[in-house]
Structure 1
Amino acid sequence: MSEELKKNLNKQSNRNWVRAALSLRYFKQGFETFVRNEVRGHHADILKRLQEEEGVLSLHCGECTSDNLLPQHSVQKKCIQKNRKHCFCSEQFCRRHCPNKVCSYLYDYIVKAHSNNDPLWTNTDPSKWLTDYWELGKCFLSTFGYADKQSAADTDATGLLSIAINDTYIQERMDTDIESLAKVKDTRNIILHSAALSLEDDVVIKYIDEMIQVLQDRKAFASDATAKDAIVHLNELKNVQCHISFEDELEVREETLKAIEDMTHEKRIICNIIKQINFFIDIK
């Protein structure tokens, strides 16, 4: 390592940001297993309920997509999704109920399990809902940009927290309130955008304590060795004199750059959607 790089790493403002960024990595590692397991459990629970409550005989389909699926509730006069403009029932032209009598019901169960009854469907592929539990989990994400994420491991901390915040099945298996989860989610975004700013010691410790509080949830992580290991690392990072290798710094900076690039890509997607909407409005 060059003397210049060592000097840069040893600057307190730089060390504090690296400590904060590393804490996000450890939090994600500790939180990931729980979310993955609960999404898998929710998937199995919904499929079981479809058979018991709706009399679905076969849990097989691959014909339903975001373009052709019509929700089961479309037979009613009132939409069950909070924002009807987001619902597949708002534009019924070229749509039909699931020919295997399962995906339409599954759509409704997802809406009802969402904390705001308003899933974002952009990230998910309905043709995989029955066979891929993570594809169902992606219905509970709050923002665009996760369509290509195939697992909890591929999903960043913001995405994992969004799923936990929006999925009532997961909420029932935690003592931690939504506000605490949202606070860590906001903290992650603050840290990403503060790489060029100074972070005080007490601010970094505050962020880390918020993460530790979530991972200490006894109901969710009582027997989770990964979460306990993450807490150990997080407590080490609270020490301003903790060891931070140059390799660690490079890795978190690369991770941050990738996250910012993903966020920029997401903004482009949103802008393109808005342009398309305005184009059709102008036509009308």
Structure 2
Amino acid sequence: MAANTHLFGDKETNNWFKACIGLNVTKEGLTNFLCAELQKVHIVVGNSCGNCPIENLIQCPTNPYCNIRKRNYCPFHKSQKPQPCPICDNVKHNIILHHRYGRPSWRNTRAEKWALNYWEIGKCYLPPDGYSSISSVQESDFNGVISIMLNCLHFQTCLSPLCLSPPPPDKQCPLEKVRQIGRDVRHTSDCKVTDADLQDYFKKLSTLLADPPCLQQDPSAIIACKRLSDLQNDPVSFEELGKLLKDAKKAGECFSEKAERTLAEALQTLDVTTLFGEQRLKKKTEVGKQRLQSKTKLGEHRLERKTTFCEQRLQSKTKYGEQCLENKAFFGEQRLQRKTQHGEERIKSKAQYGEQRIEIRINKAVQCLDSNVNDGTQRIEISVQHGIESIERIARGSKQNCTSRLRTRGSRFSPSFGETLQ
């Protein structure tokens, strides 16, 4: 919340300002809800032709619009003569049906805008005077918003029974009590509200904003409830007071003479305080500029010194780095040469040792091969000799077997055959 203060020494006067601000906060919390519901009413009552002014749809004379005292002149109809229009008459009839008392405020509305502007339908449920130039819900005041909710029967479907029981115009109706808060605050004789009354006002306003069917979930109503709670416990802020005065002037709200004077005094106090604040702010700004310039110059000097010092250090570090690099390069070359020479020597030694090992292995392989050849030759010769001897034994055995068989068979046929074989 903005910086706040008590605008008046009297606490009850400050309470009155809080009550005024609370009414504005409540109206803002109800605005989105009212707009959404009036759009539904706009759909229900139907579309007009968009050409007929309200004067064409109202018979002359009709109280309280027509002045029947003057013959041949009506300040309401002027040059317009009533002309029947079935389409617009149907819309007018539906508007009347939705009015709790059957007496819409025709002077507030422009019938040619009924087709496109839901607010022109809503204005029929406003109080009869002082709202013809109001072009939106946002421009209306607290009394206008609550009056629409009381006068339009559609709101019976989106408010809980607790808000409208007993039904209007019973003074015990909670919504009637809420409207009465606005009247009491605006038409006060002393611009004072006790702590108990302020607490009661805020309780009733918060109860309305937290009504279960629709408002309890409405984001604007939730924010308004939170603001009412904060406002009840905090002093009046210049920001809230300035907004109150601007909204009251813009909406053309009717206050009592005492309330008008109190608002004027508050506005004067606010102007003086604002002027004093602007002067202090200007002085603070000048001092801040001077300090900023001084700090800037000091910073520039320090930056220059730091830059010079850093440049010198950088040059010194660069030279030192170059020397270190040269030394490292020199030592590196020497180590590389030593490593290269040592490597060459190791390669030569390894090569000689490898050649010797290869020669030894070749000689061993040749000797082993010669030994294997000699051994193989001997084994082949022995195998051949054994084969020849085996063949000869087999041949001799075969010859003896054949001779024996022939003798045996020959003796069967002729004894002399066996002798012949012998």
Give the TM-score taking structure 1 as reference length.
0.73
Say which of 51, 71, 76 aligns to 1:63: 51
Relative contact order: is structure 1 or structure 2 higher (C-alpha 8 Å, sep ≥ 6)?
1
1:251 maps to a residue whose letter is: K
CA RMSD of aligned residues (A): 2.9
In structure 2, the residue corresponding to 1:238 is in which secondary structure? helix
- Structure 2: segments with no counterpart, 5+ residues: 69-73, 256-422
Per-residue CA distance 1:119-145 (angstroms, 9 max, x = gap): 121100111111111001101112311
The answer to whether the 8 Å contact 2:42/2:118 transfers is yes
The alpha-carbon deviation at position 65 of structure 1 amounts to 1.3
The answer to whether the 8 Å contact 1:29/1:230 transfers is yes
1:148 maps to a residue whose letter is: S
**Closer, same or farther: CA 60–18 of 1 in aligned 2, 3 Å:** closer
The alpha-carbon deviation at position 262 of structure 1 amounts to 4.4
In structure 2, the residue corresponding to 1:28 is in which secondary structure? helix
What does residue range 1-284 of structure 1 map to in structure 2 within 5 Å? 8-47=7-46, 59=47, 61-69=49-57, 85=63, 94-98=81-85, 101-175=86-160, 176-177=163-164, 178=168, 179-194=173-188, 196-239=190-233, 242-256=234-248, 261-263=252-254
Give the TM-score taking structure 2 as reference length.
0.50
2:175 maps to a residue whose letter is: L
Give the whole-Å Cα distance in 2 for the aligned partners of 1:214 and 1:181. Answer: 8
**Closer, same or farther: CA 254–194 of 1 in aligned 2, 3 Å:** farther
Give the whole-Å Cα distance in 2 for the aligned partners of 1:262 and 1:249. Answer: 15
**Closer, same or farther: CA 86–106 of 1 in aligned 2, 3 Å:** farther
Per-residue CA distance 1:180-217 (angstroms, 9 max, x = gap): 12211111121123384321111111111111111111
Larger Rg: 2
Give the whole-Å Cα distance in 2 for the aligned partners of 1:70 and 1:189. Answer: 31
The alpha-carbon deviation at position 70 of structure 1 amounts to 5.4
1:267 maps to none
Give the whole-Å Cα distance in 2 for the aligned partners of 1:22 and 1:195. Answer: 18
Per-residue CA distance 1:142-177 (angstroms, 9 max, x = gap): 231111111110111110111110111122211121
Structure with more of its chain in helix, by fraction: 2
The alpha-carbon deviation at position 27 of structure 1 amounts to 0.4
Greater Cα offset, 8-17 or 130-139:
8-17
